[in-house]
Amino acid sequence: EGNKKESRGALIVLEGLDRSGKSSQCSRLVSYLEGEGLSAELWRFPDRTTNVGQMISAYLTNASQLDDHTIHLLFSANRWEKRSLMETKLKSGTTLIVDRYSYSGVAFSSAKGLDIDWCKSPENGLLAPDLVAYLDISPDKAAERGGYGDERYEKLEFQQKVAEHYKVLHDTSWKIVDACQPIEDVEKQLQEIALACVKQCQQGKPLSSLWP
């Protein structure tokens, strides 16, 4: 593991239930960082543009059926196929704002009843985020926001299970942000914690791997 003083971009992940505001906040955060003169890109998982991503998308839209283990491994494979590009971008100084990551993978699959350690193992060796910001909202409040779509997991009962399984994954390094605040207040909070994280990475915080 190379030079510890090498400046690099930060790997920043936003997690949270469906409708918690991840996608809205990810794009606002990228604009903010760019406005600060930093190089930043918006990424999301699943990345539905790849072959694996298209299989995932077909599953989520109920166009195909897959065994729970199989879809879990596809979500993981979708992160693995982006891993080396992710590392290249970070090392070149670009900060990545990522809409969902391995924590979604583990929370959603373990909420279906799969063993949590089994769920975590294929994530082993992916890049560990420098920051996980969890947009905290109750499943009921999230459901009030414009309602769910038609995708497989967009049901209140299942979201309640996912919320419980996300809690098992929380560790003390996570930043828990109250996602029920007005959108601009959430935005402001995320700007502060993201900027602090970017500075640490500019100062040479080493990259690490899951699971720390």
Q: Kindly list the residues in this chain that would bind ligand Z5A in the complex (CB under 6 A).
A: 16, 18-24, 45-46, 60, 75, 99-100, 104-105, 108, 145-146, 153-154, 179, 182-183, 186
Task: Please state, in angstroms and rounded to a whole number, the distance separating the CA atoms of residues 50 and 77.
Answer: 11
**Which of the listed partners (Mg ion, ligand Z5A, none) does 95 bind, with a CB threshold of 5 to 8 Å by partner kind?**
none
Nearest to 201 by CA among 98, 92, 42, 84: 92
- Of 17-25, 30-38, 45-53, 68-76, the segment contacting Mg ion by CB under 5 A is 17-25
Considering the complex, state which of residue 65 and residue 92 has its C-beta at the smaller distance from ligand Z5A.
65
Considering the complex, state which of residue 23 and residue 189 has its C-beta at the smaller distance from Mg ion.
23
Closest contact distance (angstroms) between CB of 196 and ligand Z5A is 21
Instruction: Assess contact for 12 and 95: CB atoms under 8 A.
Output: yes
Closest contact distance (angstroms) between CB of 103 and Mg ion is 15
Q: What are phi and psi of 152, to 5 degrees?
A: -50, -40
- Of 16-24, 57-65, 67-75, 189-197, the segment contacting Mg ion by CB under 5 A is 16-24
Considering the complex, state which of residue 45 and residue 166 has its C-beta at the smaller distance from ligand Z5A.
45
Give the angle 207-205-9 at the CA atoms, nearest 5°. Answer: 70
Instruction: Assess contact for 152 and 59: CB atoms under 8 A.
Output: yes
Instruction: Assess contact for 74 and 56: CB atoms under 8 A.
Output: yes
Instruction: Assess contact for 37 and 179: CB atoms under 8 A.
Output: no
Task: Please state, in angstroms and rounded to a whole number, the distance separating the CA atoms of residues 163 and 211.
Answer: 20
Helix (H) or strand (E) holding 12: strand 11-16
Considering the complex, state which of residue 75 and residue 134 has its C-beta at the smaller distance from ligand Z5A.
75
**Which of the listed partners (Mg ion, ligand Z5A, none) does 89 bind, with a CB threshold of 5 to 8 Å by partner kind?**
none
Instruction: Assess contact for 74 and 99: CB atoms under 8 A.
Output: no
Considering the complex, state which of residue 17 and residue 127 has its C-beta at the smaller distance from Mg ion.
17
Closest contact distance (angstroms) between CB of 76 and ligand Z5A is 7
Would you count residue 23 as binding Mg ion (CB under 5 A)? yes
- List beta partners, residue 135: 16, 177
Closest contact distance (angstroms) between CB of 3 and ligand Z5A is 32
Considering the complex, state which of residue 21 and residue 207 has its C-beta at the smaller distance from Mg ion.
21
Using CB under 5 A, list all residues that contact Mg ion: 23
